[in-house]
Structures are given as structure tokens and as C-alpha cells.
Homo-oligomer: A and B are copies of this chain.
Amino acid sequence: MKYGIVAFPSKKVQDFANSYRKRYDPHYALITPHMTVKGVFEADENEIKLIAEKVSTVVKNHKPFTLKTTKVSSFAPVTNAIYFNVQPTAELLKLNEDLNAIEYNDEESYSFVPHITIAQKMNSSEHDDILPQLKMIGVEFEEEIDRLHLLYQLEDGSWTAYETFRLSGAE
């Protein structure tokens, strides 16, 4: 079974992101707008219990963090995905690092670029066409994230909730 750990921004930011995702992101109906904190990994139902305990311990040791978006960017030419950038604060990078220190069944090797995807799976001409328009929208949001969610994927590609972890740490 595939799992991932995400932060959901506020309803306001999710509604705003969805106004673009609805048109530009084929994953629109599979998951609500999110920032991935730990990318997809495989686990069976027994393994996930142990992993969830470890995640719980890590998250409990972190305090709520500020999610701040300032602009729209793109991962092109690596991949045609357009996103709200999220400031890679020291606290967010440390949270990701601590979560990655847990042993998962994956080989995640790319670096962590916190973001909220709003468009993906376009061909290059579509991408190049909409990027300048999307770059002009105002995406200055700043809010506190006080919890992470462990999700798993169903056969149809949609993601469902497994557990919530509160960022209750003092530092």
C-alpha cells in the first residue's frame, strides 16, 4: 500500500489552489490541495503501524511551523508541474529531515522543495502557455500549520486519511 505524509493548508488556501487545480491538475479529484512533507513510500498494514509510531514521535518533537507562500513557480524542465512555492524555513527543513531519518521502503533521493502543486501533467506547450499567466496571480499567504496527516492511496488513485499527528513539541 502506498503512503505519504502531507500538510493541508487552511480552507482559504485550499479553495484558492483548487480554483486552478480544477482546470490544470488531473490529480484534482484524488487529493485536496496539500504540501507533501514525506513523499510516497510502500508499507503493508503491519509495517505502517510501526512507521506511524515513529512518525508520531518525530512530529511530537516539532512545534507548529509557518507555511508561507510568495509566488508561483515551475519544476520545468524536470517535470511540467506548477506550484505555489513554500518558503523552506529551517524548521520545515528540519521536520522533513527528521521524518526522512525514519526507515521507509523507498529510495527518496531528490532534495526537498516544499510546494503546493496547482498544475501538472501538461505537455510543454500547454505548460509554457499557462505559466506566465499563473505567475501573475497573487499567492502571498502566511499561516500556521499545527498538524501533519499520514494518508494512503486506494486502487483508483485517491488518497484517504490514516492518521493525524499534532506538532505539539516545544521547539
Contact = CB atoms under 8 A, between A and B. Distances in A.
A14 B154 contact: yes
Nearest to A34: B160
**Central interface residue in A15, A149, A159, by most chain B CB within 10 Å:** A149
A18 B155 CA distance: 9
A158 interface: yes
A29 interface: yes
Contacts of A158: 18, 29, 32
Contacts of A152: 11
Contacts of A156: 15, 18, 22
Contacts of A32: 154, 158-160
A42 interface: no
**Central interface residue in A152, A156, A162, by most chain B CB within 10 Å:** A156
A8 B29 CA distance: 18
A6 to B, nearest CB: 9
A163 interface: yes
A62 interface: no
Contacts of A149: 161, 164
Give the top 10 A-B pairs by smallest Cβ distance, nearest first. Answer: A29-B29, A32-B160, A164-B164, A161-B161, A15-B155, A163-B164, A149-B161, A18-B156, A8-B160, A14-B154
